[in-house]
Chain A
Amino acid sequence: MSDTVYVQLLDLAAGLVLVCAFVALWRRGLVAIVRALAVQGVALAAVALLLGLHQHDLETIVVAVLVFSLKGVVIPRVLLRIVSSSGESREVEPLVNVPASLLAAAGLVLLAYATTRNVVALDPSPETRAIPIGVAVALIGFFALATRRKAVTQIVGFLLVDNGIALVAFLATSGVPLVVELGVALDVLLAVLILQVLVSRMRTKFGAMDLDQLRELHD
């Protein structure tokens, strides 16, 4: 694989990660949001795979396979199961409406580029130049966490933050050690499973998964 092709593919995969974050903010259907997250997981795995192939590093390729199976397949399946069992398929009204949140996300991208300029300037290379995208995805994830009401969209926000951090980690370190990635991945899986249990408990208690209803404590 020649260097220019490698750089183009890396840019394309990193760009896809960012576009998927925007799609997750843009769409209202929960199924569409989860699909965007799955595509983002695959793109993230592609970034890791490209890094591994470029550096002939078997460990990074194994990490890529792990990321693909976990973030591209397993977690989206779990989320889809939550969506289908809850019977609610739309984020009815986010706290910030969709056009405004898209524009806010665009602002967050600029913020990410502005704040990481010095980091990129330390060692300008094709990999580090894509780091702002990872920071931007993490910021968009925080934004989704802050403005979305449904439990599923909150999980999605959490996963966006995680994907952004993972992208920064891949690009900054040129491949995370397998042990670290394994630990993080299992943590995320555990968090999603706990949230799934939480959501199903919420549904049986309240008949909905709107987090605004969790205002008071009962015995």
Chain B
Amino acid sequence: MTLPRLAVALAQALLVIGAAPVLVGVMRRVRARLEGRTGPSLSQPWRDIRKLFRKQRIVPANSSWVFSAAPVVLVSTAALVSGIVPFLSTRSAFDQVGDLFAVVYLLLLGTVFLALAGLDSGSAFGGMGASRAMTIAALAEPTILLAIFALSVGAGSSNLGAIVSATLTHPGRVASPASVLAFAALAIVTLAETGRLPIDNPSTHLELTMIHEAMILQYSGPDLALVELAGQMRLVIFLGLLSNLFVPWGVATTTHPLQLLAAAAVTLAKITVLAISVAVFEVFVAKLRLFRVPELLAASFVLAFLAVTASFFVA
């Protein structure tokens, strides 16, 4: 682990932390414009977080250490994952250990801790939200693994950096059936895991429908700020995975500072385009009934499964 590589990992984590709230601001603005409203300013999510950090921290009476630990675990796993995923360069400090299993299970660790915290607070909504989130996670996690696995069969490695470099050297793979199927599967799962519209409405507090919001209902002050920030970071991570795994052009293969700057610009542009398309998509769809969500996720699981089959048997 050399110093430049460590710097890359750190830069990636800082980029994700800095960009995440702004990206959510962009998505809210796009949605507001399409609905005929002006919408808040782009830095509003950052201001919200700053405001929450100054507020008092209140903890439910009977909660245990899980409740206090969950926000920290969420943010730290998200920051670690953003150091691993090749956002800027394929040569990151965690190149040797940071394969797709590490990424997926670090993200799952955050999900599980949030669900535990929802149960820990002892409120009815927390338990309901945790149960729903686990229903979704149980179907979404294997789908992510399978979808990325379809790409790693072609690259011959489960290392994310190696997958990106392999796609860079063989651009024809982008249009193969396996890649197209895996993209569709991962796109559906991204919406599910980040709590976006057909699965969960990020802006609702209606008790019958909420999933993510139900789990974090008891959080306040700095804890809530961390949970919100982690949620926004996860959105950037998933969109970054989608864009850099399937359209890897622009990712640097060295640790040269100028190349990294260019990679940062290209990656941010790709993520912004994806985020805007998610926001536009959200304007046109209604939330799925909760009992239909497993159907959609099973379909995405099957797509990922077919992608693996296609890359394994056909290619």
Contacts and interface: CB of A to CB of B under 8 A. Distances in A.
Interface of A: 4, 8, 11-12, 15, 18-19, 22, 26, 98-99, 102-103, 105-106, 109-110, 113, 129-130, 132
A99 B181 contact: no
Nearest to B177: A15
Contacts of A105: 302
Given A8-B175, A103-B302, 8 more contacts: A11-B177, A15-B310, A19-B306, A22-B306, A102-B298, A102-B299, A102-B302, A109-B305
Nearest to B139: A99
B180 to A, nearest CB: 8
26 contacts: A8-B172, A8-B175, A12-B177, A15-B310, A18-B306, A19-B181, A19-B303, A19-B306, A22-B299, A22-B302, A22-B303, A26-B295, A26-B299, A98-B295, A98-B298, A99-B294, A99-B297, A102-B295, A103-B302, A106-B306, A109-B305, A109-B309, A113-B309, A129-B313, A130-B314, A132-B313
Nearest to A7: B314
A74 to B, nearest CB: 28
Prevailing SS type, chain B contact patch: helix
Would you list the 5 A-B pairs with minimal beta carbon distance, nearest first?
A99-B298, A15-B177, A98-B295, A102-B298, A106-B305
Contacts of B301: 102-103, 106
Nearest to A130: B314
Contacts of A11: 176-177, 310, 314
Contacts of B181: 15, 19
A26 B292 CA distance: 11
A22 B309 CA distance: 14
A18 B305 CA distance: 12
Interface string B136-175: 0000000000000000000000000000000000001001
Contacts of A19: 181, 303, 306
B306 A129 contact: no
Given A26-B299, A99-B294, A103-B302, A113 B177 contact: no
A52 to B, nearest CB: 21
Nearest to A22: B302
B261 to A, nearest CB: 36
A29 to B, nearest CB: 13
A20 B314 CA distance: 18
Nearest to B184: A19
A46 to B, nearest CB: 14
Interface string B166-199: 0000001001110001000000000000000000
A137 B116 CA distance: 42
Contacts of A132: 313
A110 B298 CA distance: 16
Contact of A110 (B177, B303, B309): B309
Contacts of B298: 98-99, 102-103
Given A11-B177, A113-B313, A129-B313, A99 B295 contact: yes
Contacts of B310: 11, 15
Nearest to B299: A26
Contacts of A106: 301-302, 305-306
Interface string B273-315: 0000000000000000000001101110111011001100110
Contacts of A12: 177
A156 B267 CA distance: 45
Contacts of B176: 8, 11
Contacts of A113: 309, 313
A219 B221 CA distance: 76
B288 to A, nearest CB: 13
A98 B306 CA distance: 17
Nearest to B307: A15
A106 B298 CA distance: 10
A33 B295 CA distance: 16
A8 B314 CA distance: 10
A19 B182 CA distance: 13
A191 B207 CA distance: 51
Nearest to A126: B314
A132 B314 CA distance: 10
B199 to A, nearest CB: 14
B214 to A, nearest CB: 23
Nearest to A100: B298
